[in-house]
Amino acid sequence: MSNPKERGPYMKTKIRSNQLSDQELQEFMNKNCKLLSSKQLAELLHVTEGAIRKQRSKARSLFPYAKLGGRVFYPADLIVETLHKNLTQSQAR
């Protein structure tokens, strides 16, 4: 077993509270954290925000999400991954 204090590069904390300026935080989010709001996801999928909200409330959401401070965010990379997992092949008739 490895020492729990030793962390690989993938385990390093990228940001800590109050260590980044607003500009640095925005830069970090643009490079590393692509999060979509419910409104952005609804626009992307061409559905209403209500449809997205209803799926969440009935525990039928296809997409993983996080609630932070009452707001809902969807990681863009997981949305793309989920869409690719649910692709079906069209069949000629």
Spans of all domains in the chain: 37-84
Confidence at residue 87, expressed as pLDDT on a 0 to 100 scale: 78
Tokens of 6: 């030793």
Question: Angle 9-11-17 (CA atoms, 0-180°, nearest 5)?
Answer: 110
Q: What is the pLDDT of residues 36-90, one digit of tens each?
A: 889 988 998 899 999 999 999 998 888 899 888 888 989 888 888 888 888 777 7
Confidence at residue 78, expressed as pLDDT on a 0 to 100 scale: 84
CA count, 13 A, side-chain hemisphere, 92: 0
Question: Taking 90 as the threshold, does the pLDDT of residue 25 lie above it?
Answer: no
In the block, residue with structure tokens 């969807």 = 74
Tokens of 42: 């609804």
Confidence at residue 15, expressed as pLDDT on a 0 to 100 scale: 47
Q: What is the pTM of this model?
A: 0.58
Confirm if 63 and 72 have CB atoms less than 8 A apart.
Answer: no
Confidence at residue 20, expressed as pLDDT on a 0 to 100 scale: 61
Q: How confident is residue 31, by pLDDT bands cut at 50, 70 and 90?
A: low
Tokens of 56: 């969440």
